[in-house]
Amino acid sequence: MKLGYTALTLLPLVGLAIAQDSYIDPDNGIQFWGTTDPVHGVTYGYTLPPLNAGYDEFIGEIVAPIEAKWVGASPAGGMLNNLLLVAWPNDGNVVFSARIARVLEGPKITSLPWTKVNASHWKWVYRCQNCITWEGANGPVSLPIDGFGASAWAYSNVAVTTPSDPASAFGQHTDFGFYGLDWSSAHVSKSQYDAWAAGETGGEPEPTPTTPVPTDPPTPTPTVAPTPYDYIVVGAGPAGLVTADRLSEAGKKVLLVERGGPSLGSTGGTYQPAWLQGTNVQTMFQDNNPFWWCKDINVFAGCILGGGTAINGGLYWYPPDSDFAPANGWPESWKNHQTHTNKLKQRIPSTDRPSTDGKAVVERLLRPIGYRDAVINDYPNFKEKVFGYSAFSFIDGKRAGPISTYYKTAVARPNLFYSPNTVVQHVVRNGSKITGVQTDNPYIGPGGFVPLTEKGRVILSSGSFGSARLLFKSGIGPKDMLDIVKGHATAGPNLPEETDWIDLPVGENVSDNPSINLVFTHPEIDAYENWAQVWSSPRQDDAAQYVKDRSGVFAHSSPRLNFWRSIEGSDKKVRWMQGTARPGAASVETEFPYNKTAIFTITTYLSTGITSRGRIGIDAALTGRALKNPWFVDPVDKETLVKGINELLSSVRFVEGLKLITPDNTTTLQNYVDSYPTGNLNSNHWVGSNSILKVVDENTKVYKTDNLFVVDASIIPSMPMGNPQGTIMATAEQAVAKILALSGGP
C-alpha cells in the first residue's frame, strides 16, 4: 500500500536561512538567539522568559549599519497576519512601531537603555509586551515559543516617508529573508529576564540547551577506485525523478543526488502529528519545523525528495500544445510533444476528486460571463472561458506524483544509486568537458568527488534557482555573478581559471505568474480555518475519516476549482488569465465586519503570453534570490490582468449572498492592484533562468560545454498555461529522450 503526505495547506513563507547560535550583546550582557544577515550586516536577536510562566512578551534587538534606512523583524515569519516590528534611525534616536499590514494596537513596546545611534550603526534593544499572541486577520496568531519556527526580516535602503512619526508610511522593502530559530532554546530564568526587562545589565546567561549532534564522520580512505557513472543527475525533484528513471530504464549507470531526505511515508518519511500515529502517512504542513525548506534560496523551495511536488498545492495540469510552441520560445523540434506527454499521463494520471464545497458559488459567478464547465485535463487545449474541478497528481487520497511512480521504479533498479542528504557543491570541468561533480559526501567518492565514465554526462535538475547557482559556482554565467563566487571564501578557490569562464545569460529571461488575491464571503462556504490547527488539533471527524479510508477534506489540497480565459492587451498581444478558488484566505483587508467562517479566495494569475521578465542570481552569501522581480515589468501585463479581474467582478451582482471583502468598496480595483505588495505577487512558478536556445541548446546541453545538461523548470522559456508541475515533467520526458538519442554519450 502506497502511503504519503496528506495534502494540507502550505505555510505562508517563502524561504529560509541558517540560524546562528546564541550570542551575548557586550553592551548589556543579554543573551540573544537569532541571526546576522551576511549581506546587509544586520543582526536580529530575541530572548524570552521561562515557558509556562504566564508571560506574553520577549526582549529583542536589531543592530544595523547606518545605511539601513528602516529594518523590520517578523518573529513569526510571514509578513501577512504576523507581528512586524519596524524601526529606523532619526536625529540620533530610534523610531519604532508594531504593525500587521497596518499599525497594530495591543503590543506595548519599550526601548531599553542600550538603544543608540552612532556614526556607523544604530541599535534598537526593546521589550515587546503582548507580543507572543496577537489578533491576525482571521483569528489569534502565536509564536511557537516551545518549538522551532521561521522568523523573517525586511530591509530597506530607502527612508520612510516621515522619519519622526512611528506610524509613518514606507515603501516596499528592498530585500527580505527568513531564518530558522529554535524558540524552545531561547528562554532564560525568570529572575534574569526580569532584570534585563527592567534595564539592568549583566547577570549569568543561561547555558544554551543542546541536543547531542553526532560529529562529522572522518573522511574514509577509499580502498578501491571511485565509482564512475554514465549519468549523474543533480536533484530529485519532478524533472530529476523523471530523468533518472528513464535513464536507468535505458540501462545506464545512474547516480541520483538529492540534498534533502525522505518525503512520503513510502520513502521512509516518518514526520507526523499524534493523530496520524499508527499509520506511515507523513505530513509536514502547519508545523513549526520547516526541515524540508531550502536554506539558501530566498523563495519558497523544497529541498526534499520530490522537490516542489512534495510540498506544493499539488495542482497538476496536462500541458496544452501552446506550452511547447515555437511562438513561446521553444525550438521547432519540441512542438510535437504529445508522445512524451502521453508517457507522463500513463505514469501519473490526474484526478479531480470533486468537492462540492464552493464550486456551486464560483460556478454561479462564472456562467453569466460566458464560462463553460469541463473536466479540464480531458481537454488540455481547451482553455477559453472554461472552468472545472481542480486536478491533482494524488493517488488514493495521498500525495504521490513522481515520488510514488518514477522514483519507485528507478530505485528498484540495480544500475541506479540514490544518494540523499548530499549537496553538490559544483560541477568539476576541464575546459568544456565535465569530469564529475564535487559533493559534501565523502562516502560516495574520495573527498566527495564523483567522476563520470569516459563518455558520461551530468544533468542538473535542481530547479530555477538551484541549477542557476550550480552553473555560477562552476564558472558558467554572467561575469557579475561569477565575480561574487570568486570572492567567496570557500567557493571561490574551486572556480575554474577566469580564462575558462563561460559567459552565458544564466539567470536572465525569468518569468513567474503575477497573482492577485480576491477574498469573498458567501453563506454556503465552509472556510475551514481548522487548516491552521491541523497539525495539533484537527476536527476529530475529519481526522478519523482520513485515517480510516484516506477520504474527506484531508485527502486533497485546498484548491477546489480552476478557470481560464484569454485577454487581448492594448499591445494586441494575447495573454491568459487563470483563476484558482479555495476556501479560507491568507489575509483579509477590510474594516467592515464579515463572517470569518464563510470566506474564500479566488487567486487570479497571468500566465501564457506574459511579457514581463526578471533576473535571478546570488548574493555575497551565495543565497539564490531575485535580482530583478519579474512581475508587471511591462505595464500592459498589469493592465491585462486588471481587465480580466474587472470582468470577473462584474458578475458578483448575479450571485445572491456573495460579498467581495478584499478589496472592499473603500478602494478601486486599480488602486488595490497598484498598491499590492510586490512580494505578494509571487506565485513561485519560476521558469526561464536557463532558457532553452539561450543557455541550453535544443537537446538541453549547456552551450560551450561537451556533456553538461539542464533538465528542469529553468529551461522553460515562457510561462506555461497553468501551474507548471505537469509541464515540467512533460519537459523532462522529452528532454531525456533527446539526450539518450544524442550521439557521443555512454
CATH code of 422's domain: 3.50.50.60
Strand segments (E) across 195-266: 229-234, 254-257
Same domain assignment for residues 668 and 566: yes
Indicate the pTM of the whole model.
Answer: 0.80
| CATH number of the domain encompassing residue 125 | 2.60.40.1210
Judge if 490 and 578 occupy the same domain. Answer: no
Residue 667: partners with Cβ closer than 8 Å, 6 or more residues away = none
Give the pLDDT mean for 529-547. 70
Examine residue 411 and state whether it is found in any structural domain, yes or no: yes
Identify the active-site residue in 173, 187, 556, 685: 685
Q: In this structure, are residues 468 and 505 in contact, taking their beta carbons and an 8 Å threshold?
A: no
Q: Are residues 471 and 614 in the same domain?
A: no
DSSP string, 47-104: EB--TTS---EEEEEEEEETT-SEEEEETTS-SSSS-EEEEEEETTEEEEEEESSSBP
Strands 148-156 and 615-618: unpaired
Q: Assess whether pLDDT exceeds 70 at residue 561.
A: yes
Q: What is the pLDDT of residues 429-444, one digit of tens each?
A: 999 999 999 999 988 9
Separation between Cα atoms, residue 635 and residue 402, nearest integer Å: 37
Maximum average pLDDT range among 14-28, 291-305, 720-734? 720-734
What mean pLDDT comes out for the span 288-317? 80
Cell numbers representing residue 191 in the block: 529572575
Q: What is the pLDDT of residues 570-614, one digit of tens each?
A: 999 999 999 999 988 878 888 899 998 899 999 999 999 999 999
Judge whether 284 lies within some domain.
no
Indicate the range of 18-22, 117-121, 211-215, 306-310 predicted with least confidence. Answer: 211-215
**Ramachandran quadrant class, 463 (left: phi over 0; alpha: psi -120 to 50; beta: rest):** left
Name the residue range of residue 570's domain.
353-389+513-681
| Residue 611 falls inside a structural domain | yes
Q: What CA–CA distances, in Å, run from 65 to 69, 88, 157, 176?
A: 9, 11, 11, 16
* 375 and 299 assigned to the same domain: no
Average pLDDT rounded to a whole number, residues 136-144: 70
DSSP secondary structure letter of residue 218: P
d(CA 14, CA 725): 18
pLDDT of residue 468: 98
For residue 551, give the CATH number of its domain. 3.30.410.10
Final residue before a domain boundary, out of 178, 197, 216 = 197
Same domain, 378 and 441: no
Lowest mean pLDDT among 9-13, 110-114, 604-608, 693-697: 9-13
Same domain, 46 and 79: yes
Is the domain of 496 the same as that of 536? no
* Domain count of the fold of the chain: 3
Same domain, 423 and 500: yes
Whether residues 158 and 187 share a domain: the answer is yes
Rg over alpha carbons for the chain, rounded to the nearest Å, is 26
The mean pLDDT of 374-383, rounded to a whole number, is: 95
> Quick one: average pLDDT of 27-55?
88
Whether residue 59 is contained in a domain is answered as yes
Averaged pLDDT score across all residues of the chain:
86
Classify each residue of 105-115 as buried b or exposed e, where b means 16 or more C-beta atoms within 10 Å of its C-beta: eebebebbebb
In a domain, 45, yes or no: yes
Whether 337 is catalytic: no
| Cα–Cα separations (whole angstroms), residue 692 to 332, 377, 460, 676, 688 | 12, 26, 14, 32, 8
Do both 536 and 676 map to the same domain? Answer: yes
CA–CA distance, 263 with 407 (Å, rounded to integer): 12
Q: Which of 197, 217, 240 is the last residue of a domain?
A: 197
Average pLDDT over residues 662-674: 95
Within a domain: 345: no
Q: How far apart, in whole angstroms, are the C-alpha atoms of residue 634 and residue 614?
A: 11
**Gap between the Cα atoms of 294 and 275, Å rounded:** 27
Note whether residue 333 is domain-resident: no
* Distance separating alpha carbons of residues 299 and 12, to the nearest angstrom: 11
Residue 528 confidence (pLDDT) above 70: yes
Residue 268 within any structural domain of the chain: no
Same domain, residue pair 603 and 550: yes
Domain endpoint, select from 197, 213, 248: 197
639 and 676 both lie in a single domain = yes
Q: Report the pLDDT value the prediction gives residue 78, as an integer from 0 to 100.
A: 58
